[in-house]
Amino acid sequence: MVVLVVATTSDPASIGPAAAFLAMPGWSPGPPIAEGMESFTNGNVRLLKHERSIIAEDDLDQRWLEATGEPVSEVIFLSKHTAVSNRPALTVHPIGVPHLREDETPPQGGTPGWAAIPNPRIGPWLRLMQKIAAEQGLVPEFEITLEATHHGPVTSTPTMFVEIGSTEEYWGRQDAAQAIAVVLWKGLGLEDGNDVGSWQGNGEKVLLGIGGGHYAPRHMDIVIKDGVWVGHLLSGYSLPMDTPSQVNGKTSQEVAGMWKHSIKVSYEATKAAFPGGEVIAHLDHKSFKGWQKNAVTSYLQEENIRIGKPSDFF
């Protein structure tokens, strides 16, 4: 089993960290693959470079297996992050578009209604990234944060994105690229053989974030604590709900929309990522209207998904 790290030459926030990673010792040319791609190998890590948009290349894990005979245990994409705030940031997040209907076209890759298996390293690597960014003097200039589940490409193995944001000025920053490279180097165990964030299936609790904004601040408050594991993070836009009619101030019908499907597939993908773990939903209560919170909590109870308070994750 190999770890597949994916970069694209079309994105400075992708190829920059990849180049810094390849500058570290132990690399050799990788196996021959498709035209327009090249690969490198270091222990059980494979770095794949291609020329297209990072979200346009579906099924790279399966295509790697077909081309090389090596099964992929996880995929890590290197990419740029954009934000209206333009604030410099280093981010990490799971992927998928579980809230989209079949007749909708995903604006940034993926397939409607799908959630990738989240990489178990997301929580541990957020904390590792915070530590390395501080050591390298990027904090407080750069914000180190989670992002909610969003965009493609399609994968079938545990996946995460590691990104530099949020404008062209920062995408090419060498110090940010170096920090990401160190996260990869240490996090994948290439430094000393001890990787960070491997799931051992020991019955620990895993956070499934439901509600809130794109940067999941309420969920972040929990995930930044040592030992917390995190799966999918569904912000409000991933929980589309049709406003029901009200009678005497009470909801008079079932709340329609893709929100149930979004929760269900994200829960199932998170369970698949953490076999033997207990997936617990953490709600950003303040982000919901009363009828929304009632609908979500009722559905979670129907599905036997435990709802936890912050203290339940420690």
* pLDDT given at position 71: 98
Per-residue model confidence as pLDDT tens for the chain (314 residues):
999 999 999 999 999 999 999 999 999 999 888 888 999 999 999 999 999 999 999 999 999 999 999 999 999 999 999 887 889 999 999 999 999 988 888 888 889 999 999 999 999 999 999 999 999 999 999 999 999 999 999 999 999 999 999 898 999 999 999 999 999 999 999 999 999 999 987 789 999 999 999 888 999 999 999 999 999 999 999 999 988 766 455 554 688 999 999 999 999 999 999 999 999 999 999 999 999 999 999 999 999 999 999 999 98
Sorted by where each starts, the structural domains of the chain and their CATH numbers stand as 2-188 (3.40.630.50), 205-312 (3.40.50.10700)
Query: Angle, nearest 10°, between helix axes 259-273 and 290-302?
Result: 50
User: In the block, which residue shows the tokens 């009632």?
Assistant: 294
For residue 215, how many C-alpha atoms fall within 13 Å in the half-sphere facing its CB?
15
* pLDDT given at position 82: 87
User: In the block, which residue shows the tokens 């990788």?
Assistant: 30
CB 119 within 8 A of CB 257: no
DSSP string of 33-61? -STT-EEEEETTEEEEEESS-TTT-TTHH
Tell me which residue of 279, 306, 283 sits closest to 120, measured CA to CA. Answer: 279
* pLDDT given at position 70: 96
Q: Is the pTM of this model over 0.85?
A: yes
CB 212 within 8 A of CB 128: no
